[in-house]
Structure formats: structure tokens, C-alpha cells
Amino acid sequence: MKADVNIELSPIESSKPTSIRSLVGTGTAVGAKDSEVVAVSTSVDPTLASRESVLSNAPSPSETASQKKRSMIHFGALCFCLFVEGWNDGSTGPLLPTIQSYYGIGFALVSLIFVFNCIGFISGAIMNVYLDEKLGLGKILVLGAALQTISYIMNAPAGPFPIMCTAFCIAGFGISFQNAAANGFVGSLKANASTNLSFLHAAYGLGAFTAPLAATHFATTRHWSFHYLISAGLSLINTILMIAVFRFRYQDEVLAAGGQQAGPNEDVNQNKYRQIISLKTVHFLSLFALIYVGTEVSLGGWIVTFIQERRGGGASAGFISSGFFGGLMLGRILLVFLTRVIGERRSLFLYAFLAIILEITVWVIPSLVENAVAISCVGLLLGPMFPIMMNFCRDIFPRRLLNGSLGWISGFGQAGSAIIPFLAGLFASKFGIGSLQPLVVSMMSTIVIIWALVPRVHRLD
């Protein structure tokens, strides 16, 4: 008599490699007892099958090492991109008195370069939301770097003042693209994003620190505009680097190449602009970024003129601007761990309070040495604020909107680097350069108020 036997394998039995490989996929086995065929139906634990699938697809150690190397190259390239952006912002201050003298214009007219810079930044911030989705990370970075290079080539011959204003507008447009892309990419990283953002913006501080060293030298020479040849060379290297490293690829492709998980797919049925604008926190942080970056660039730029006219400094006063941006760079590195201990929200209040006190001493104490030291310390305290704000964005914005939101905020932040210095120039033309310090103190106080009003919300992915 023949009998069909149904055998259920236990998880323990099915965990044997030989039984899994032989039974899964066939579902039958042949027995030899009395020449009878025994049909076997198997049920393998699905968790074990999925575990084997994951293990089979897991990257090898060599692949992991290669991915980490590529990820480091991506980050290094973006740091150089921010370095060139810092070089751009750090160059203007020492050259401002020379530009005024060369073109025979006052504070108000020379401030037009900041106005056109602002037009470029805001236009870039608005266009970036659309172009980021259409072109992708790699093309956006290359386009921004190429436009920045063109602007420096236009400035190098020291042509008519309207051409310089146009060049500043093009530079603002290109920098806005790169700033948004870099912050969005680093903010999307799964590991050490907070630390990486600090070092990314420290690279900006390094560029802003080194630029015045060169600009101060050129400011005293006949061919002062040749400083922009160095800027064009650095920007050209940046363009080539963006092409070689990111290869015109989309962000998800670059993240995957570095071993990072890509973000969720965008909801193409919804208008991205509308989604970003509907986030109330975006507007608070955009205003914060505008005033912060504007205060930073105003102080680093106009402080040279202030020291020369109110403290009797000579052409070497440009080095004080370098000291400010050097403090900015160090603050973004040295205060990272203190920020973690205190907490990001409270630490920003502390840094702002101390910076306001130091800035008041620059305002009321007529000492060249004290002012130089105080300005460097103000840079140290202002340094961590922008990375703190960017890291806060990572925690509250939906991942599908993170790049667009960071681009929007960064663009308006860069617009601040034009608006506030322009206001400083207008006030200086009416009340004298001494109006710089009360303006900076009031802007720092406004930053504190805005930060206190920023809603504490959580990300909804």
C-alpha cells in the first residue's frame, strides 16, 4: 500500500544550508524506501529566506571601502566649492576703497555691486527649485561654477562700472546654485551630516580668510583688478572638479555611488514651490539666513573702511577682514563639540549674546588693537550659527523637500550678503562709516529674536 506523506520542516531543520538549497525552488524530494516515491511539501521560514537574500546582496568589504572613498571625494569637492564661494565674499571688502577711488564714486554707488549681487542670488534661489529637479545635482554644480568663472573674467580688465555690476549679478546667480546643491547634498547624508555641515562651512571660512590676504596686496597696486584673475583660476579649477567628480549625475546616483541610500521619490503630482512655500518654518529660517549672512559679509567687508577712517588704519587694515573670516572658520570647527554639549538651540543664543557684547566694544572703544582682536572673536562666535541652522533644517523638513528648502533658504541667505552690505553703504553715505557698528549690533539682536520665534516642529516624511 502506498501513502503520500506531507512533511513540514521546522525552522531549525530548514536552517541547514543543504536543505535550503536543495528544497527551495524544487519543493520535492525522492525517497528510496520499498521503491516508493514520497512527495514532500516544504515551507521555509520567510525571514530566513530574506536574510539570505540580504546577505547575498550585501557589498563586499572592498566595495564598501571603495564607496567610502568616493563619498569622501564627493565631500572634498563640495568643500572646495564652498572655499571658492568664501573667496568670493572675502575679496570684496579690501577692494571696496580701491573700487571707490578708481571709479570716483561714493558709498551709495559702490554699494550697487551688492544690489546686483542680490538680484543674482534671489534669481538663483527661485530657479534652483525648478532646475534641481530638471537638471540634477551634477549639472547644477557645473552650471553654477561656470557662471562664477565668467563673472571673474568680466571683472579682471576693470571695465566700466556697469559691467562690474553685471558680473556681480552673474556671480550671485552661479554661487546660489552651488550653495543650494552643496548644502542639500551634505544635508541628505545618513552619517555625520551635522559634523560634515560644520566642516563644509568651515571651508567657506577658509576661503574668506585667505582671500583678503591676496586682495589687500592687489588693492595697493595699479592693476588691482588682476585679483580677479586668481579668482577666475580658482573658479575654473572648481568647474573642472565638479565635472570630474559628479559627472553631470543626479543626486540619487551620486549618493548610491558613495554607498548612501537615495531619498524617497518626489511626488510629481504636487507643485514643489507650493509645498515649500506652505512651510511656515521656511520663511522664519530664510529671514534668519538673510540677516545672518548679510551681517557676516557686511562686517567682513565694511570693517576695512571703518578701521581706515575711524581708527587710523592704513592699507594693511585688510588683514583685519582676514582675521574676522579666520575666526569664522575656526568657530565652525572648534565649537562643534561645545555646541553638542550645550545643545544647538541654546548655544546659538549664547554665541549671539557674546558676539553682541564684543561688537559693542568695537563701537565704543577707539583702539585699533582691541578692535582687531574683538572682530576676530566675533567671527569665532558667528561661525557655528549657519551650520546650526542648516542642521536644524535636516531635522524638521521632509526629505522629499529638503534640497528645495535648503536651496531656498541658502539663496535668501546669500541675498542677505548683498542687501545688508548695501544698506550699510547707504547709511555710511548719509551718517558716516561709524553707522556700521550700530547696524551690525541691531542685526545680531534681530537674529536672536527670529531664532526664538522659529517653531519647534518635527519632520513628517
The tens digit of pLDDT for each residue in 354-382 reads: 999 999 999 999 988 899 999 999 999 99
Question: 206-210, 303-307, 318-322, 360-364: which range is least confident on average?
Answer: 318-322
Query: What span, in angstroms and rounded, lies between the C-alpha atoms of 16 and 11?
Result: 9
One domain, residues 17 and 121: no
Instruction: For residues 41 and 81, state if they share a domain.
Output: no
CATH number of the domain where residue 233 is located: 1.20.1250.20
Query: Does residue 269 sit in the same domain as residue 121?
Result: yes
**What residue type is 361 in one-letter code?**
T
- Domain assignment of residue 304, yes or no: yes
How many residues are there in the chain?
461
Mean predicted lDDT score pLDDT of the chain: 81
341 shares a domain with 385: yes
| Residue 409 belongs to a domain | yes
Residue 53 included in any domain? no
CA distances from 276 to 135, 190, 259 (A): 19, 22, 28
154 and 135 Cβ atoms separated by less than 8 Å:
no
67 located within any domain: no
Per-residue model confidence as pLDDT tens digits over 324-345: 988 999 998 888 888 888 888 8
What residues make up the domain containing 199? 77-453
Q: Give the number of domains in the chain.
A: 2
> What is the distance between the terminal CA atoms of the chain, rounded to a whole angstrom?
63
Considering Cα of 230, then 234, then 237, then 242, what sign does the dihedral take? negative
354 vs 34, residue with greater confidence:
354
Amino acid at position 351, single letter: Y
Say what the pLDDT of residue 233 is. 96
Does residue 309 sit in the same domain as residue 396? yes
- Cα dist from 123 to 127, 169, 412, whole Å: 6, 9, 10
Examine the domain organization and report whether 284 and 383 are in the same domain.
Answer: yes
CB 324 within 8 A of CB 299: yes
Name the band, by pLDDT with cuts 50, 70 and 90, for residue 219: confident
Q: What integer pLDDT is reported at residue 457 of this predicted model?
A: 61
Structure-block grid coordinates of residue 142: 557645473
Same domain for 309 and 358: yes
Domain membership of residue 432 (yes or no) is: yes
Residues 110 and 36 in one domain: no
Instruction: Assess if residue 123 is contained within a domain.
Output: yes
Residue 51 resides in a domain: no
342 phi/psi in degrees, rounded to 5: -75, -35
Q: Return the C-alpha cell found at 233.
A: 583660476
Residues 284 and 374 in one domain: yes
Q: Are residues 101 and 39 in the same domain?
A: no
- Please check the confidence at residue 26 and state whether its pLDDT lies above 50: no
Residues 404 and 339 in one domain: yes
Q: Are residues 209 and 273 in the same domain?
A: yes
Q: How confident is the model at residue 13 (pLDDT cuts 50, 70, 90)?
A: very low
The mean-pLDDT minimum among 229-243, 361-375, 381-395 falls in: 381-395
| pLDDT over 70 percentage in the chain | 82
In a domain, 7, yes or no: yes
